[in-house]
Chains A and B, each alone.
Chain A
């Protein structure tokens, strides 16, 4: 019954549990229609909105922070902030840009908070050495799956070595495929600033991932 409900959504999501009754031929309601439903107190409407963006939000958080443990809590926080801000949102603007802004701000705050915490605890001296050693290590395992896992780990570790604002910019570009203008809107910066951050982030990543890039794959 709900097949095709989210055909207008950027990526594939499982169908929502409730909210609008639609047939296969009907298109998914746009974000603002759903927002109106949430504001009108329709049960399940907010859930629909969350399902649309939960995966993107979770992965931006994961790639920005580098650990899976906090992804759920922080994602919940993003959606809570979204819910609280819904009555104040401007329907002229895109909702996803607002969601990305909330997510980016939360990630940047969290990265800075953790950095301060690490500096205070001096843990970074150990972590820095470990992560660089892990990143520099060549992949010898013959198993392709293991190689992929190692590479994923390496890229996540490399991302953690970028400044917070560069990290979130490149994640929005490469993972979310946002345009420069969309990133500028989400992060409240200019398009040239987006270009500059992307350029620096990529050059840094290339340097950090040199062993993996030249390792042949």
Chain B
């Protein structure tokens, strides 16, 4: 007697076969010990798994789950609030720093423009001051000397 292929027996067990094939298999296992035993094994394993899954969550489980979900959401919401405030603060500070940098660039040009700056008396040039002190001359004289030296 030709046995039913194992894959097919599993398909039979899962109700995946056509009605006609199912009938053939039922007929076969009624007269074939090996296939019947295999089929019964599959059925037993299923029923044992079903009976082993006997965990019943306690009555307050659902309530606890809801509370935990809401609490976590609230906590995350708070964190999100803090993150938003932090992000805004960083943005404002960045804009402020950028503005101050730009202002200071306009207000005090870099050292390369020192001769013009000194001539326009826009800022104190330590070289000019030092020159004034060393040679005991006036600021105007020192400026002229500085320009001459530069040229």
Flag if B55 contacts A68 (CB, 8 Å).
yes
Interface status of B88 (Cβ within 8 A of chain A): no
Q: Which of B42, B63, B65 is in CB contact (< 8 Å) with A202?
A: B42
Flag if B48 contacts A151 (CB, 8 Å).
yes
Nearest A residue to B72 via CB reads A80
Q: Which of B45, B54, B56, B69 is in CB contact (< 8 Å) with A205?
A: B45
Given contacts A46-B65, A180-B16, contact A55 B55 (CB under 8 A): yes
Interface status of B64 (Cβ within 8 A of chain A): yes
Flag if A213 contacts B41 (CB, 8 Å).
yes
Nearest B residue to A151 via CB reads B48
Interface size class of chain B, counting residues whose CB lies under 8 Å from the partner chain: 35 or more
Query: What 0/1 pattern do residues 19 to 50 of A give for CB contact below 8 A with B?
Result: 00000000000000000000000001011101
Flag if B61 contacts A72 (CB, 8 Å).
yes
Flag if A206 contacts B41 (CB, 8 Å).
yes
CB-defined contacts of B70 to chain A, threshold 8 Å: 46
Bound CA–CA A199/B48 (angstroms) = 17
Distance (whole angstroms) from the CB of B11 to the closest CB of chain A = 8
Flag if A155 contacts B62 (CB, 8 Å).
no
Which among A56-64, A124-132, A133-141 touches the partner chain? A56-64
Bound CA–CA A198/B70 (angstroms) = 38
Interface status of A111 (Cβ within 8 A of chain B): no
- Count A interface residues, CB 8 Å: 48
CB-defined contacts of B66 to chain A, threshold 8 Å: 44, 46-47, 50
Interface status of B20 (Cβ within 8 A of chain A): no
Flag if B65 contacts A50 (CB, 8 Å).
yes
Given contacts A59-B55, A180-B16, contact A174 B63 (CB under 8 A): no
Bound CA–CA A59/B53 (angstroms) = 5
Bound CA–CA A154/B44 (angstroms) = 13
Flag if B50 contacts A83 (CB, 8 Å).
no
CB-defined contacts of A16 to chain B, threshold 8 Å: 62
Distance (whole angstroms) from the CB of B10 to the closest CB of chain A = 6
Bound CA–CA A212/B64 (angstroms) = 39
Distance (whole angstroms) from the CB of A82 to the closest CB of chain B = 8
Bound CA–CA A14/B59 (angstroms) = 9
Bound CA–CA A51/B56 (angstroms) = 11
CB-defined contacts of A68 to chain B, threshold 8 Å: 55
Bound CA–CA A71/B56 (angstroms) = 10
CB-defined contacts of B72 to chain A, threshold 8 Å: 80, 83-84
Q: Which of A59, A75, A80, A174 is in CB contact (< 8 Å) with B45?
A: A174
Given contacts A83-B73, A206-B41, A213-B41, contact A155 B52 (CB under 8 A): yes
Flag if B44 contacts A213 (CB, 8 Å).
yes
Binding site for A on B (CB under 8 A): 6-7, 10-11, 14, 16, 38, 41-42, 44-46, 48-59, 61-66, 68-70, 72-73
Q: Which 6 A-B pairs have the closest CB atoms?
A: A59-B53, A83-B69, A50-B62, A79-B65, A155-B48, A174-B49
A-B contact pairs, 23 of them (CB 8 A): A46-B66, A46-B69, A47-B65, A48-B62, A54-B61, A54-B62, A55-B56, A71-B57, A75-B57, A76-B61, A80-B68, A80-B69, A80-B72, A84-B69, A151-B48, A154-B48, A174-B49, A180-B14, A195-B7, A205-B45, A206-B45, A209-B45, A209-B48
